[in-house]
Amino acid sequence: MASVVVLRPAQPEPQVLLLRRAGSYLHGVWSYVAGHLEAGEALWQCALRELVEETGLRPRALYSADCCEQFYDAQNDCVQLVPAFVAMLEADASVRLNHEHDAFRWLGFTAALPELPFDGQRELFARVRREFVERTPPASLRLPLPASH
């Protein structure tokens, strides 16, 4: 699995994308892009593919968030360790949802945090705000995007 926090420039603060889940798993919950690894894929490639599949968005930059979400997956009775990524978009990026989500919202971090139901999600957003909005992320975290993305 991989997760992607999506950012776009806005005033007075950058905005983050929230997606409302439409399927039976976590139905109606606001979250962000996430998905499962396919055979032969690198985790960053999974993040980029899931971003395009779920939202139609193509980032101008993709970063490792330099952290992993960790949570207990009761359905599969295991602990999931999910690397997180940050996708930077242009201000006018247009979202096209697939069947996995039925709504989206662009919110500032202050408004987005209370919408996330899980502490791990809120911790990830707080980290992204601190390390990718309040600071310039290190170039070493930036991932190469394929020319055809």
pLDDT digits (tens, 9 = 90+) for 118-135: 999 999 999 999 999 999
pLDDT digits (tens, 9 = 90+) for 33-87: 999 999 999 999 999 999 999 999 999 999 999 999 998 988 889 999 999 999 9
Q: What percent of the chain has pLDDT over 90?
A: 91
pLDDT digits (tens, 9 = 90+) for 76-103: 899 999 999 999 999 999 999 999 999 9
Look at residue 14 and tell me whether its pLDDT is greater than 70: yes
Instruction: Go through the domains of the chain in sequence order and give each one's CATH number.
Output: 2-143 (3.90.79.10)
- pLDDT band for position 149 (50/70/90)? low
- pLDDT band for position 25 (50/70/90)? confident
Q: Which pLDDT score is estimated for 147? A: 79
Q: What percent of the chain has pLDDT over 70?
A: 99
- Sequence-distant contacts of 94-99: CB under 8 A, at least 24 apart: 94/56, 94/57, 95/17, 95/55, 95/56, 95/57, 96/55, 96/56, 97/19, 97/54, 97/55, 97/56, 98/53, 98/54, 98/55, 98/56, 99/22, 99/23
